[in-house]
A and B are shown apart, each in its own frame.
Chain A
């Protein structure tokens, strides 16, 4: 236990209780059902765009891709066109692999100090697997939730639901994604606690989103499987939000407000946090540039003249010695 961990847990616990108090005791349904969601979305969109523009305002003065394979060279040498791209297509493929498959994380290996003298590097794909499970299940859940904001519900959302629920256990049917997300987020949390190096580098702002997402997943699971939630009223409310005719329905369980509030906190927190890695990855100059600086000149917008030591100055200093050594000189 350390302070960072405790603070984040405390913060999320408080956030969990806020809507209970707000809705159940104070009866502020409009605040939690309408005003906060609108504000959160505004902050998210505005903050996200602002951050991207903020990054984009700084130029990329040098072309510095990290090359992870053979570069473009002689015609008979096989280039690794994805890990060391020289074309836009190569860069796009590299970025797709990175963003969709976490290519770099897949390279992960673990250091082992063996008894005896050798150091070895062990198979370690758990982080990659955990990260994939986390992000993909989150993605599936977001798409699934689009059913609350669309009418009629598009076919692909229904198809995804069928796929997600293919186990057909229980009633209502179990969606795998929710449990995968919870398991993955727990894994990411426990590895942060368990691996002492990772624990050492972890900040409160690393634990906070994990606890928050845990709370969102748990409140979601409670809603779906344990409490009777009036789905029709919920959908009327969510449709009201997206069509800008917001309404508050009576008889909606407080857990719905809790779930919604936590999601609002997450998206409002998003642009100011490390969660912006989702936007930043697209702008990372070591990944999104082709390795072509020897082929095509890259322009640095702030390139400025610098003092140099000219040949003339050099020869002036060493002329006699150069002549004596038989080196050609410009001025005799």
Chain B
């Protein structure tokens, strides 16, 4: 475990893995050993059962017997066939890879572990080899020579181990000359594994929670309200203003949905306070009514990491709640995979949302043409528009103690293209902003190492290794420009990056975009602030 493995040791281990040749035996003959620190615990049977998903039982990945149904091979084969018929992406990606290797050193898990099976191409070959054996004539005739192999228990275990070592970040698909997307492959792999009950608990339980209580953390409605009200008390201490957020309010203008992680743990909580302060400002100044929902209290969607069907089941609450409350449109908070789901899946799965209006900012009059079908606007777009129209009173010097760099989250970058909006907001709310090297930002950004449901405690070595490329780029700007804050627009980032920074670049903190906004935002009637949202002095000098 990384608790025992010091950063220097982990780095040496990785460097050695990279510099030494791959195993002499071919990858098909190299057995996979499920190693502590690299895998997540098996799903809790109660969670699997609550969702009505197959094969709920207690099992342990490091035991030999995974308690699979007797006909598991048949289930996988049928499931595979069905998905080939449903997804052209998978069919094409199974056939056209030429193994040029351009993707190999683009994966943060490969860079960070040096394990050849973490090369995107080989991760895909794990499943392609079965595809060739089961579905192609070349594979049936030539077998291994054509890269085919039979499905065995060992192969299944290998799938499980490596499809939960991919964070579906899509970086490899940027470099692939055919756009082969390992996220698609991993989604397929995990979907097949779920058919025989092979999920991890860090995904299965949040999904069950979300289904029941409306959010991944299982916060019940009364507690959700209390937690938000607790933030209002903190804000009152800082600004001497009393905030009264709306909950489940019918007839509000806008429904706001954000990941529940930001309600739960630092530093996401400060981002959440930032949202509350922005909405308070807009209500006081412009009479905008934003409501929170306890039923749709989760922006994120761990169903996406389970199966397409589960994703749809969880996502349905957004539109259902917007309809019930009769709002005009939906505003979405800062989150990564949540926005991939909204941008590329939501209206297809659960639309059309014809009961909503095309989003128009009532304050600036801006019509969000880019969201006219889905009717859901990203808060970075919303805030950037407000600032551009001069609708926010800002004092960027309140962020002066921060030297900021910005971490593009995978999904908004490669599944959406939200790059300039957050940068504009940072530049308008802060005075010191430095970019990380070009190869590590925007569409080439590196994952935090914990995305797609891998942010558990037991796989800490995997997370620290996977986050190494990101941390390495932060370290570069930390040393060069004295950067001390890593800004982001993702709740998983806010949960994962603090640990990562502590491990690799201990002097750098993590901050959400709307914490920066709220630090700079001058609320009508507020007292002179002496602290930021974290209750720390506004500048280093004042603290002395």
Those of B84-101 within 8 Å (CB) of chain A: 84-93, 95-101
Q: Closest A residue to B102 by CB, please name it.
A: A108
Indicate if the CB atoms of A287 and B179 lie closer than 8 Å: yes
User: For the complex, is B328 an interface residue (Cβ under 8 Å from A)?
Assistant: no
List residues of B (342-369) whose CB comes within 8 Å of A's CBs: 342-345, 347-349, 351-352, 366, 368-369
Q: What is the CA–CA distance of A61 and B420 in the complex, to the nearest angstrom?
A: 29
Q: Is the CB of B92 within 8 A of A284?
A: yes
Query: Which residues of the other chain, B, contact A193 by a CB distance below 8 angstroms?
Result: none
How far in angstroms is the closest Cβ of chain B from A291?
6
> Taking the complex as formed, is A17 at the interface, i.e. its CB lies under 8 A from any CB of chain B?
no
Q: Give every chain B residue within 8 A of A84 (Cβ-Cβ).
A: 417
Determine the residue in chain B with the shortest Cβ distance to A59.
B88
Q: Mark B33-57, 1 if CB is under 8 A from A, else 0.
A: 0000000000000000000100000
**For A55, A196, A306, which residue has the most chain B Cβ atoms within 10 angstroms?**
A306
Given contacts A196-B21, A306-B316, contact A67 B414 (CB under 8 A): yes
CB-CB < 8 A to B321: which residues of A?
311
Query: Contact at B97–A274, with CB atoms within 8 Å?
Result: yes
Residue pair B179, A196 in contact (C-beta under 8 Å): no
| Interface size counted on chain B using CB atoms at 8 A | 121
Stretch from B118-126, B253-261, B396-404 contacting the other chain = B118-126
The verdict on A311 contacting B100 (CB below 8 Å), with A283-B92, A293-B348 known, is no
Tell me the minimal C-beta distance from A199 to chain B in angstroms.
Answer: 8
Interface flag for A281 (CB, 8 Å): yes
28 A–B pairs (Cβ distance < 8 Å), ordered by A:
A4-B145, A55-B91, A62-B348, A66-B181, A66-B414, A67-B443, A68-B174, A74-B381, A104-B102, A104-B176, A117-B472, A197-B105, A198-B100, A200-B26, A203-B99, A204-B142, A204-B145, A205-B146, A273-B138, A293-B343, A294-B373, A297-B347, A297-B348, A300-B348, A303-B349, A321-B220, A324-B222, A325-B226
Q: State whether the Cβ of B160 lies closer than 8 Å to any Cβ in chain A.
A: no
Residue pair B372, A295 in contact (C-beta under 8 Å): yes
Q: Does A277 contact B (CB under 8 A)?
A: yes
Complex contacts, A300 vs chain B, CB 8 Å: 348-349
**B290 on interface, CB distance cutoff 8 Å:** no
Select which of A59, A76, A286, A308 is within 8 A of B320 by beta carbon: A308
Interface string of B107-120 (1 = CB under 8 A from A): 00001000010010
Give B1-47 interface residues, CB cut-off 8 Å to A.
11, 14-15, 18-19, 21-22, 26-27
A79 vs B418: C-alpha distance when bound (angstroms)? 10
Determine how close the nearest CB of chain B comes to the CB of A86; give it in whole angstroms.
8
Say if the beta carbon of A110 comes within 8 Å of chain B. Answer: yes
Question: Interface extent on A, as a size class?
Answer: 35 or more
Cα distance A277–B97 in the bound complex, in angstroms: 7
Please encode chain A, from 82 to 107, with 1 for each CB lying within 8 Å of some chain B CB and 0 for all others.
01101000000000001000101101
Residues from chain B with Cβ under 8 Å of A242 in the complex: none
Residues of A within 8 A of B343 (CB): 291, 293-294
Q: Is the CB of B249 within 8 A of A206?
A: no
Residues of chain B with a CB closer than 8 A to A78's CB: 420
Q: Which of A's residues lie within 8 Å of B, judged by CB?
A: 2, 4, 7, 51, 54-64, 66-74, 76-80, 83-84, 86, 98, 102, 104-105, 107-111, 113, 117-119, 121, 127, 131, 195-206, 272-274, 276-277, 280-281, 283-287, 291, 293-300, 302-303, 306-311, 314-315, 317-318, 321-322, 324-328
B98 touches A308 (CB 8 A): no
Main secondary structure of the interface of B (DSSP, over half): helix
Residues of B in contact with A (beta carbons under 8 Å apart): 11, 14-15, 18-19, 21-22, 26-27, 52, 84-93, 95-102, 104-105, 111, 116, 119, 121-122, 125, 136-138, 142, 145-147, 170, 173-181, 184, 211-214, 220-222, 225-226, 247-250, 294-295, 308-309, 312-313, 316-317, 320-321, 324, 342-345, 347-349, 351-352, 366, 368-374, 376, 381, 384-385, 388, 413-421, 424, 437, 439-440, 442-444, 468-469, 472, 475-476
Instruction: Tell me if B111 and A119 are in contact (CB < 8 A).
Output: yes
A298 CA to B343 CA, complexed, in Å: 11
In the complex, chain B residues whose CB is within 8 Å of the CB of A104: 102, 174-177, 179
Q: Are A121 and B439 in contact (CB under 8 A)?
A: yes
- A299 — which chain B residues lie within 8 A by C-beta? 348
Chain A residues with Cβ under 8 A from B85's Cβ? 57-58
